[in-house]
Amino acid sequence: MIQLTRHMRILVAIEPADFRKGIDGLAAVCRSHLSEDPFTGTVFVFRNRRATAIKILVYDLC
């Protein structure tokens, strides 16, 4: 379970992501396309092409 606080940033990708990439591939998308560091505690939300699934990427700083 992810506990959200009011200080957390949530970024939602508007273009579909290729879920075959896995977690490392999604982290690379965060760095290259979103220009964000995935290890800062920001919550990244991705969806697949058919919009039937989502993946959430967040690094727990605790």
Q: What is the pLDDT of residues 1-29, one digit of tens each?
A: 778 888 889 999 999 999 998 899 999 99
Tokens at 17, concatenated? 């992501």
pLDDT at position 4: 80
pLDDT at residue number 31: 93
Residue 57 has pLDDT above 80, yes or no: yes
Quick check: 55 pLDDT over 90? yes
Specify the DSSP class assigned to residue 41.
Answer: S
Tell me 20's DSSP state: G
- The pLDDT score that the predictor gives to residue 21 is 86
Which pLDDT score, from 0 to 100, does residue 43 have?
A: 93
